Structure 1
């Protein structure tokens, strides 16, 4: 798979946590970062899909027959 080098500045405490985790797991930092980015992107794509579905559902018009509305109003 082709890769692309990304430069990123992260707060020192975050970098230290990443280093500690990479050491503890015996994994390269780039593997952990790639997995984290993948998980975040998947989550954001899912959130966007849910939001779009919610908007679509809200825009769906529900039609109720006139006589049913009258019957409901009379029942109040």
Structure 2
């Protein structure tokens, strides 16, 4: 797979946590970062799809007149 080099400035405490995790897991930092970015992007895509579906569903809602709702409630 082709790759692209990205530079990112992250807070020092986060970089230290990344270094410690990479050492503990004996994994390269770029592998951990790639997995984290992939998980974040997947989550954001799921959220976007859910939002679009919710908006589409909201556009198909059928409105019922207030009086009809009252009549229905009174009939119960």
Runs ≥4 in structure 1, deviation > 4 angstroms?
Answer: none
Give 1:63 shift.
6.5
Following the alignment from structure 2 to structure 1, what is the Cα–Cα distance between the partners of residues 46 and 75? 43
Distance in 2, Cα, partners of 1:73 & 1:45? 41
Instruction: Give the unaligned 5+ runs of structure 1.
Output: none
Q: 2:61, 2:25 → 1: CA distance?
A: 53
TM-score between both structures, scaled by the size of structure 1: 0.84
Equivalent pairs counted in the alignment come to 73
**Which ranges of structure 2 fall in alignment gaps of 5 or more residues?**
none
Displacement of 1:37 after TM fit? 0.1
TM-score (norm 2): 0.84
